Structure 1
Amino acid sequence: MSLLAWKQKVWLQLAVIYTRYLIGGAFVFASLIKLKGRRFTTLSGESAPIHSAAHFFETLYQAGPYWKFIGLGQLVAGLLLMTQRYALVGALLFLPIIANVYVITYSYDFGATTWTTGLMLLATVGLLAWDWNILRALVHQPVLPAPTSALYERRLWEAVGGVLFLYTAIYRALVDQYNALQWFAICGLVGLLGLVIAAVLHRRERRALPS
């Protein structure tokens, strides 16, 4: 089945939308602690062995401006993904960042975190594959039209992304002792509400069509 045929499947369109929310939100969540000039963990790595992960993060933290620059890159990439409208630009920016994060977690044997970052890397590659009909212009191939459903094109998804971004950014900016489960649960409820609203509007429009 061709890419253009896959892009007509509504379930896959929704999967793409919510994948952007998920990995974009994770980057926004992780970025604010760096922009605030705080350590990534509550443990200082000053006395940790030189080849340990704690020492590595302590070195990045002590770099000061570079630590905040990493956070800014994560924030911008996550925001662009969550807007949906500029998600392709966000995915292009996201790819080198998450690839670097994955190599770091693999090199320092972060255990389960390595699997998480690996899945995020695969998800980003998948998002870029989704827009290959546009990206093919980079290899001097014509852009191919790939019309999607009215459900996928709704501006509602931009609004949902905006709410998720604002909630995540404000929560992480104001709260140091965060509850990741609480954050994820509220984001999940916002995403579910958006899906319900989109489904109701879609059903009403279909009923309004002449038979």
Structure 2
Amino acid sequence: MLQLLAWKQKIWLQLAVIYTRYLLGGAFVFASLVKLKGHRFTTLPGGGAPFHSPEHFFETLYQSGLYWQFLGLMQLVAGLLLLTQRYALLGALLFLPIVANIYVITISYDFHYTSVITGAMLLATGALLAWDWNRLRIVLNQPVIPLPAPAVEARKVWELVGLVLFLYTAGYRVLTDRYNLLLWVGGCVAVGVGALLLAWRVPGRRKGTP
């Protein structure tokens, strides 16, 4: 238990978990809005593409209508939960089957190196669940070990930053269909860096919080 407590209190690990949640959650929110708006994931229709091709696959999903929007809704909910930090464990649990399904799709079709990205997302989701394994022990009828909340991770500033990232990402995708990926990424990076600086400047409420 002491070893687990020591690992959970490492500042660099807490920051890695926080920003991994931002990265995965932001990516899902960004990808979800195009589906909820009823638009294609790709710019070119895939109806005339070969049957076993990514273009044809996405076109089939798009033509399903309600199912296409349902996929977007689930991605939006999972991404939002991760961004909140407070409900990140629930978000990771919802995120896991979705990203696992996406990974299998990318290795089943010729997505080139996209499977590397989706595989990394799947591993990152597993790492997030491992971080909260103590809270998941109850699923296996194992007692939850009472541990103090990690000092850095428990700070409220991360929840506020998650809300800002959600509003920025969702607002950007709602307002425009022709997006600039670098503009979105740049804005998110600026918010993330600003949050890190703010977290170190504002005094923590908990004893021992940096």
Instruction: Kindly indicate whether residue 126 of structure 2 is the aligned counterpart of residue 125 of structure 1.
Output: yes
Contact 2:155 2:204 in 1 (8 A): no
Distance 1:167 1:48 in 2: 35
Q: Equivalents in 1 of 2:4, 2:52: separation in Å?
A: 44
User: Aligned letter for 2:182?
Assistant: L
Confirm or deny that 1:159 pairs with 2:152.
no
Counterpart amino acid of residue 84 in structure 2: T
Report the Cα distance in structure 1 between the residues aligned to 2:53 and 2:91, rounded to whole angstroms: 31
Question: What is the match of residue 80 of structure 1?
Answer: 81
Query: Is 2:195 the partner of 1:187?
Result: no
d(CA) in 2 for partners of 1:101, 1:90: 16
Could you report, residue by residue, the CA deviation over 1:67-117 in whole angstroms, capped at 9, with x for unpaired residues? 000000000000000000000000000000000000001111312211111
State the Cα distance separating 1:203 from its structure 2 match: 8.3
What is the CA-CA distance between 1:8 and the residue it aligns to?
A: 1.3
Amino acid in structure 2 at the alignment position of 1:115: V
Instruction: List gaps (5 residues or longer) in structure 1.
Output: none
Alignment partner, residue 105 of structure 2: 104
Amino acid at match of 1:83: T
Provide the residue aligned with 1:67 in structure 2.
68
Q: Does 1:45 align with 2:37?
A: no
Aligned partner of 1:136 in structure 2 is 137
Contact kept? 1:81, 1:91, Cα under 8 Å:
yes
What is the CA–CA distance in structure 1 between the aligned matches of 2:18 and 2:133, rounded to whole Å?
16
1:141-197 CA-to-partner distances (Å, cap 9, x unmatched) read 001123244322111100000000000001001111101111011000001101000
Q: Give the secondary structure class of the aligned counterpart of 1:93.
A: helix
- What's the counterpart of residue 28 of structure 2? 27
CA distance in 1, matches of 2:156, 2:80: 16
In structure 2, what is the Cα distance between the partners aligned to 1:111 and 1:56?
15
Identity of aligned residues (%): 66
Question: What's the Cα RMSD here?
Answer: 2.0
Give aligned pairs, total. Answer: 208
Gaps of 5+ in 2: none
Native 8 Å contact 2:95 2:125 kept in 1: yes
CA distance in structure 1 between the partners assigned to 2:30 and 2:11 by the alignment: 28
Q: 1:65 to 1:101 in 2, by over 3 A?
A: same
Q: State the 4+ residue runs in structure 1 displaced beyond 4 angstroms.
A: 202-207
User: Is the Cα–Cα contact under 8 Å of residues 35 and 69 in structure 2 kept in the other structure?
Assistant: yes
Q: Is it true that 1:178 corresponds to 2:189 in the alignment?
A: no
> 1:201 maps to what in 2?
202
Cα deviation, 1:46-86, whole Å, max 9, x if unaligned, reads 10011111000000000000000000000000000000000
Give the Cα–Cα distance (whole angstroms) in 1 for the partners of residues 206 and 130 of structure 2.
31
Shift in Å, 1:11: 0.6
Query: Residues 158, 204 of structure 1: CA spacing in aligned structure 2 closer, same or farther, 3 A cutoff?
Result: closer
State TM-score, norm by structure 2. 0.94
